[in-house]
Chains A and B, each alone.
Chain A
C-alpha cells in the first residue's frame, strides 16, 4: 500500500539530547513537509523540501534540522537548541510544491515528550 510512515510513534528526549524523527513515503511525491502541532493550536511549518538535496525553512525552523538525500525520505532532527520540543510532529508530502492543487497527505505523526 502507498503511503507515508513515521517512526517512532512516541519518542522521549532527555535534556541536551538530539533526536531524529523518521519520515518515509512511497507515493513518489516530490515535495515533503514537517509540521509541529501543539494542543489547541494549528499546524506550524518547520521545514519543507521541494526536491532532493534541497530544503527551505518554514515558520519555526530554529532548533530543528533536516536532510533530503533521497526522494522517499525526509528525516527531522530536533536539536538541544529547541527549548520546548514537546509536541505532535507531522510529516506530509505532495505531488508538487507548485500548482493550484498541492494537496498534502500526512503520516500518522510522532509524539515527542521531554523527560
Chain B
C-alpha cells in the first residue's frame, strides 16, 4: 500500500460548485497533516494544516479521520483561481523525520 494515496483527477467543476478531495495514509502513527496547493510549473505552497478536530479557513475545510486513516479537503463556492493540484502531506512521526507527499489531485474550475 502506498504511503499517501490521492485520486489524481482531474476534477472538473463549474464556478460556484463545492468539491471534496480525500487522501488516505498508511502509517497509523502519523502525527500531523497538511494540504499544499501547487499551480502548474510552480512550487507547492501551504494551504492549511489539518487538525484533529477539523478546521476551516474561509471557503476551505479540512477534516481528519484517524480511525479510517484519511484526511479530506472541502472547497466551497469554487473560483477559477482554485484551479491547481492539491497535495496531501503527512508527517509520519513526531521525531526526526521527513514529510511524505501524495502525488496530488488536480482541480479544474471552469466558467
Contacts and interface: CB of A to CB of B under 8 A. Distances in A.
Interface of A: 33, 35, 40-43, 45, 48, 50, 58, 88, 90, 97-109
A66 B45 CA distance: 24
A50 B96 contact: yes
Nearest to B45: A106
A107 B98 contact: no
Given A103-B34, A105-B46, A106-B43, A98 B96 contact: yes
Interface in B54-108: 87, 91, 94-99, 101-104
Given A43-B44, A101-B49, A103-B46, A48 B98 contact: yes
Nearest to A104: B99
B42 interface: yes
Name the prevailing secondary structure of the A interface residues: loop
Nearest to B91: A102
Given A100-B94, A103-B49, A42 B104 contact: yes
A108 B96 contact: no
B37 to A, nearest CB: 11
B31 interface: yes
A99 B43 contact: no
22 contacts: A40-B103, A42-B87, A42-B103, A42-B104, A43-B44, A43-B87, A43-B101, A50-B96, A90-B43, A90-B44, A97-B96, A99-B94, A100-B91, A100-B94, A101-B32, A101-B91, A102-B99, A103-B34, A103-B46, A106-B44, A107-B43, A108-B42
Interface string B10-45: 000000000000000000000110100000011111
B7 to A, nearest CB: 13
Nearest to B101: A43
